[in-house]
């Protein structure tokens, strides 16, 4: 082989450009097992396939250097396996590589040849193809998704393994439709996911998306749009670029699309397209002077010579895209030079004719006539193309599957009958193989786990260079320091319909796109759950939040605490009122036998003052954390003592009313029932009635301790809840009836000169009572529930202070500072024995008064 190569190099240097070669003959190699291959060695874009009326042959006139290089990479892999011992020791692989012209009608001819029976060119019809042995064991290719969808269904019928090195459409992952399809490139879904993560990483959520009008572009555009929408990225404009056919450059709706993009806030354009469609779109953009944008390129055109050599390409802006990583192949350029040198050697070409008679040329025509008229310069630009490794690795994938099927070892493969293509499939699913030291694995869908490099076009003459600025291995790692932009000052372009909302704000969408919105503040009690939230989320019942919050905080239980200023003020008032009550009670006990105390009712007055003290002490049940016991005790311990106090005042009011308003005969009979032990028959029933009413209130509608989460902005209010306001009002109404009766019995009574006016004190006491509790009702009903206990405490203390100040304290004043008025004449008057001792202007007397006549003098009153 070395001698053939040296002779070829001499011949190649002598022939020069355009000299005929036999490179196309090298695309076939015999072996124990033969691999078929489909490669875009040429293109038929000028063949006018749209006007075909007969199924005649199609001539591919335009040469594709990349297609040839991919075919040579397959041949290189086959020769490496044959020359090594790691795979298939003792066996020889062969290859049979054909041109597809990038057209389905052309690709079907070699596909039929591959399925022909071994040793012939006929495809026999059988009911069962289990024992059928076609010419090839597996097929490498084709490159494009458009062709793979056609050939994939054809080969899947026979369960012929097919390993593509470039078809990336996600539809080919469907195992039901394409059970025998595999590929050494990732699915377009992976590339679309990488694009979406790039947009997210750079904060671009308002983009345009364009695809080529073929299977690759349509399906890639659909994948990208669905993933973008799911991640909150809005596709503002979307369209398809028609593929140029037979010299036609019909752009369809693309000019309108580009015009809309140019007039909008969109600064990023995702182009999921084949190289030909990208060439058409970018060429039109340059001619129409589209403002510079960020172009996110799909793998199909990112490294295309057709695109990268466009004049004026540097004016389009910034170009980013993803390329699969693969493994380096430093020996490949040398291998290509060797193949070209051998193709220029007539002796070597003659040996190929003798070894490999071209049986199939009668069916499919010459394999690659253009390949016999190329130079090294024609293919040098693509020698390091990234997809060369994918074609190379495809051979190793099939070889590993055959190695496993044959149960080969390092010493060799055991003899057995020839392997049928369908027998490889079982070993290809989830199979791991190695190529150039890189471990690859086919998953259950026939895809490989290959990472991507993020590439940036760096503008150089005559074509841009590729700079790696990130890696995608399922998650994007971006190297921002390596990025450069077309913007002034190298600033990161902004492509957003609306500004980013600040923390604590959500988006209110305007129109049809979720990326166009107004920022709305989250009110207190709600929060922003995530940066992309469209609605504020309500906090839980036991939580609170301020305005524009991103989280909720736990509510702290609160109640009427002892240390609050209002409570401290009321406690001071309680001390004052309770001190005055105790002082008045002490004075009454000290002057028990005095006319003033007896006229005030004696034991009734002391009992009333004691009850008034208990009324004051009942306010101590309202501060502090409420409990079941304190909630139940509040109203009974307030109203029962208050009833006791009011019932003693009612006795005095009744005596005044009987003495002043009833006839003497009636007054004499009734006064006996309002004095002495009989008086308690008025007090005790009143107490029992109020106690029964309170018991009914507690049993039927017991107050309960509740935690109210909504009444305070940041705290949870713990308070006693009244279950029935009607029963609550009835408890108050019983005492109001007593107070009203007292008021009726005294407010019309006229005082006598020189006598103590007890009716006036009672009248003012009842007026104070009514003013206090009538004011309490609207205030209690309208004040915030957190302050209701404070209002009730204040009402109780003011009521007690009012009764004390208008009825009892004036008498204390007389006892301390006007003792000269503490006489029977001033307090007891001239009441006759047996009648109420209180006159119209005096209070009743619990003692008896005897009038003794003295002849010749005016009557004198003597107290016994």
Mean pLDDT of 516-538: 89
Between CA 675 and CA 677, with CA 676 as vertex, the angle to 5 degrees is 120
More confident call, 233 vs 1: 233
Least reliable range by pLDDT among 102-111, 562-571, 653-662: 653-662
Query: Does residue 146 have a pLDDT over 50?
Result: yes
Lookup: tokens for 835: 């009648």
Lookup: tokens for 505: 């704000």
For residue 752, what pLDDT is reported? 56
Phi, psi of 648 (to 5 degrees): -70, -35
For residue 70, what pLDDT is reported? 94
Give the total residue count for the chain.
Answer: 864
For residue 851, what pLDDT is reported? 34
Paired strand residues for 452 = 324, 472
Query: Which range has highest mean pLDDT (48-52, 158-162, 413-417, 828-832)?
Result: 158-162
For residue 841, what pLDDT is reported? 36
For the chain, give me the number of helices (H) and strands (E)? Answer: 27, 29
Query: Does residue 8 have a pLDDT over 60?
Result: no
How far lies 80's CA from each of 74, 379, 566, 631, in Å? 10, 22, 95, 94
Q: Cβ neighbours of residue 813 under 8 Å, at least 6 residues apart?
A: none
Predicted confidence (pLDDT) per residue in 671-717, tens digit: 655 566 666 777 888 899 999 999 999 999 999 898 888 888 888 88
More confident call, 145 vs 662: 145
Residue 427: CB atoms within 10 Å = 17
Confidence of residue 599 (pLDDT cuts 50, 70, 90): low
Q: Cβ neighbours of residue 380 under 8 Å, at least 6 residues apart?
A: 333
Query: Does residue 830 have a pLDDT over 80?
Result: no
For residue 861, what pLDDT is reported? 35
What is the rounded distance in angstroms from the CA atom of residue 229 to the CA atom of residue 207?
Answer: 11
For residue 751, what pLDDT is reported? 56
For residue 122, what pLDDT is reported? 80
pTM of the model: 0.64
Query: Does residue 850 have a pLDDT over 60?
Result: no
Are 657 and 745 in contact, with CB atoms under 8 Å apart? yes
For residue 140, what pLDDT is reported? 97
Between CA 838 and CA 846, with CA 843 as vertex, the angle to 5 degrees is 75
- Per-residue exposure over 470-499, b if at least 16 CB sit within 10 Å of its own CB, e if not: bbbeeebebeeeebeebeeeeeebebbbbe
Lookup: tokens for 174: 């469907």
Place of tokens 């990732």: 186
For residue 545, what pLDDT is reported? 92
Mean pLDDT of 246-273: 80
More confident call, 836 vs 529: 529
Mean pLDDT of 589-617: 81
Phi, psi of 527 (to 5 degrees): -150, 165
Predicted confidence (pLDDT) per residue in 621-666, tens digit: 999 999 899 999 989 999 999 998 988 888 888 777 766 665 565 5
> Taking Cα atoms as reference points, which of 29, 28, 33, 30 lies closest to residue 402?
33
Coil, helix or strand at residue 550: coil
For residue 293, what pLDDT is reported? 93
Confidence of residue 349 (pLDDT cuts 50, 70, 90): confident
Mean pLDDT of 59-64: 77
Mean pLDDT of 68-89: 95
Paired strand residues for 705 = 720
Are 326 and 450 in contact, with CB atoms under 8 Å apart? yes
Predicted confidence (pLDDT) per residue in 293-336, tens digit: 999 999 989 988 889 989 989 899 999 999 998 889 999 999 99
> Mind giving me the DSSP string for 565-585?
HHHHHHHHHHHHHHHHHHHHH
Query: Does residue 239 have a pLDDT over 50?
Result: yes
What is the rounded distance in angstroms from the CA atom of residue 578 to the CA atom of residue 584?
Answer: 10
Confidence of residue 497 (pLDDT cuts 50, 70, 90): confident
Mean pLDDT of 828-834: 45
The strand pair at 317-324 and 62-63 is best described as unpaired
For residue 9, what pLDDT is reported? 43
For residue 863, what pLDDT is reported? 34
Query: Does residue 158 have a pLDDT over 90?
Result: yes
Query: Does residue 561 have a pLDDT over 80?
Result: yes
Lookup: tokens for 115: 């399925």
> Mind giving me the DSSP string for 82-114?
HH-SSSSTT--EEEEEEE-TT-HHHHHHHHHHH
Quick one: what percent of the chain has pLDDT higher than 90? 42
Query: Does residue 596 have a pLDDT over 90?
Result: no
For residue 66, what pLDDT is reported? 87
Confidence of residue 351 (pLDDT cuts 50, 70, 90): confident
Query: Which range has highest mean pLDDT (345-359, 607-621, 747-761, 840-854)?
Result: 607-621
Lookup: tokens for 215: 């299977």
Phi, psi of 161 (to 5 degrees): -60, 135
Rounded to 10°, the helix 65-83/332-343 angle is 100
Q: Cβ neighbours of residue 430 under 8 Å, at least 6 residues apart?
A: 441, 442, 443, 444
What is the rounded distance in angstroms from the CA atom of residue 423 to the CA atom of residue 391?
Answer: 22
More confident call, 641 vs 125: 641
For residue 267, what pLDDT is reported? 93
């Amino acid at each position: 082989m070395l001698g053939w190569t040296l002779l070829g190099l001499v011949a190649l240097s002598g022939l020069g450009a355009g000299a005929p070669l036999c490179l196309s003959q090298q695309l076939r190699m015999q072996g124990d097992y033969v691999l078929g291959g489909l490669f875009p060695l040429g293109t038929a874009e000028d063949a006018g396939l749209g006007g075909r009326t007969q199924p005649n042959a199609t001539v591919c006139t335009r040469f594709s250097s990349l297609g040839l290089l991919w075919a040579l990479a397959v041949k290189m892999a086959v020769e490496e396996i044959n020359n090594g011992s790691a795979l298939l020791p003792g066996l020889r692989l062969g290859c049979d590589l054909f041109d597809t012209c990038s057209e389905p009608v052309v690709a079907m001819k070699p596909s039929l040849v591959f399925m022909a029976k071994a040793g012939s060119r006929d495809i026999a019809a059988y009911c069962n193809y289990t024992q059928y042995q076609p010419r090839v064991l597996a097929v490498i290719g084709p490159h494009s998704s458009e062709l793979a969808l056609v050939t994939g269904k054809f080969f899947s019928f026979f369960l012929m393994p097919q390993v593509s090195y470039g078809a990336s459409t996600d539809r080919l992952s469907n195992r039901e439709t394409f059970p025998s399809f595999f590929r050494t490139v990732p699915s377009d879904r992976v590339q679309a996911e990488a694009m979406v993560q790039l947009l997210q990483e750079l904060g671009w959520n308002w983009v345009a998306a364009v695809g080529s009008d073929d299977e690759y572009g349509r399906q890639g555009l659909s994948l990208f749009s669905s993933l973008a929408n799911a991640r909150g990225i809005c596709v503002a404009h979307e369209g398809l670029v028609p593929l140029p056919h037979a010299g036609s450059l019909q752009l369809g709706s693309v000019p309108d699309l580009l015009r809309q993009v140019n007039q909008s806030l969109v600064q990023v354009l995702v182009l999921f397209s084949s190289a030909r469609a990208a060439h058409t779109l970018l060429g039109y953009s340059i001619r129409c002077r589209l403002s510079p944008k960020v172009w996110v390129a799909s793998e199909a055109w990112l490294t295309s010579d057709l695109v990268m050599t466009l004049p004026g390409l540097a004016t389009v802006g910034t170009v980013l895209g993803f390329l699969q990583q693969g493994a380096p192949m430093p020996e490949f350029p040398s291998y290509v030079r060797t193949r070209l040198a051998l193709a220029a050697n007539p002796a070597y070409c003659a040996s190929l004719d003798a070894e490999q008679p071209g049986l199939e040329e009668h069916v499919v025509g010459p394999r690659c006539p253009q390949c016999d008229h190329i130079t090294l310069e024609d293919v040098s630009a693509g020698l390091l193309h990234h997809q060369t490794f994918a074609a190379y690795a495809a051979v190793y994938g099939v070889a590993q599957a055959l190695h496993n099927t044959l149960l080969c070892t390092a010493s060799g493969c055991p003899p057995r009958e020839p392997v049928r293509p369908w027998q490889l499939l079982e070993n290809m699913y989830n199979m791991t193989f190695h190529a150039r030291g890189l471990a690859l694995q086919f998953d259950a869908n026939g895809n490989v786990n290959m990472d991507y490099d993020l590439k940036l076009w760096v503008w150089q003459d005559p074509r841009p260079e590729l700079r790696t600025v990130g890696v995608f291995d399922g998650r994007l790692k971006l190297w921002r320091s390596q990025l450069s932009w077309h913007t002034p000052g190298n600033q990161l372009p902004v492509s957003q319909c609306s500004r980013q909302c600040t923390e604590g704000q959500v988006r209110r969408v305007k129109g049809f796109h979720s990326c166009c919105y107004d920022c709305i503040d989250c009110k207190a009690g709600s929060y922003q759950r995530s940066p992309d939230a469209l609605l504020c989320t309500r906090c839980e019942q036991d939580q609170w939040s301020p305005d524009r919050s991103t989280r909720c905080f736990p509510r702290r239980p609160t109640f009427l605490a002892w240390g609050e200023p209002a409570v401290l003020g009321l406690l001071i008032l309680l001390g004052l009122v309770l001190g005055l009550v105790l002082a008045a009670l002490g004075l009454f006990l000290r002057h028990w036998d005095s006319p003033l105390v007896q006229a005030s009712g004696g034991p009734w007055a002391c009992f009333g003052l004691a009850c008034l003290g208990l009324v004051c002490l009942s306010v101590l049940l309202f501060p502090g954390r409420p409990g079941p016991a304190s909630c139940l005790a509040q109203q009974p311990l307030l109203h029962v003592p208050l009833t006791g106090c009011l019932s003693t005042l009612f006795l005095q009011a009744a005596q005044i009313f009987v003495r002043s308003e009833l006839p003497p005969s009636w007054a004499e009979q009734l006064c006996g029932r309002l004095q002495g032990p009989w008086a308690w028959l008025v007090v005790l029933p009143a107490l029992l009635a109020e106690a029964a009413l309170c018991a009914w209130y507690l049993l039927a509608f017991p107050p309960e301790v509740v935690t109210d989460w909504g009444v305070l902005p940041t705290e949870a209010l713990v308070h006693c809840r009244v279950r029935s306001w009607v029963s609550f009002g009835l408890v108050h109404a019983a005492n109001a009836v007593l107070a009203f009766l007292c008021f009726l019995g005294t407010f019309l009574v006229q005082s006598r000169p020189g006598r103590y006016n007890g009716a006036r004190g009672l009248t003012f006491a009842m007026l104070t009572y009514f003013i206090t509790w009538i004011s309490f009702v609207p205030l209690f009903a309208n004040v915030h529930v957190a302050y209701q206990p404070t209002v009730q405490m204040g009402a109780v203390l003011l009521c007690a202070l009012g009764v004390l100040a208008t009825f009892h304290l004036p008498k204390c004043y007389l006892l301390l500072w006007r003792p000269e008025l503490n006489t029977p004449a001033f307090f007891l008057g001239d009441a006759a024995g047996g009648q109420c001792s209180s006159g119209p202007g005096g209070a009743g007397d619990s003692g008896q008064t005897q009038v003794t006549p003295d002849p010749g003098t005016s009557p004198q009153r003597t107290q016994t």
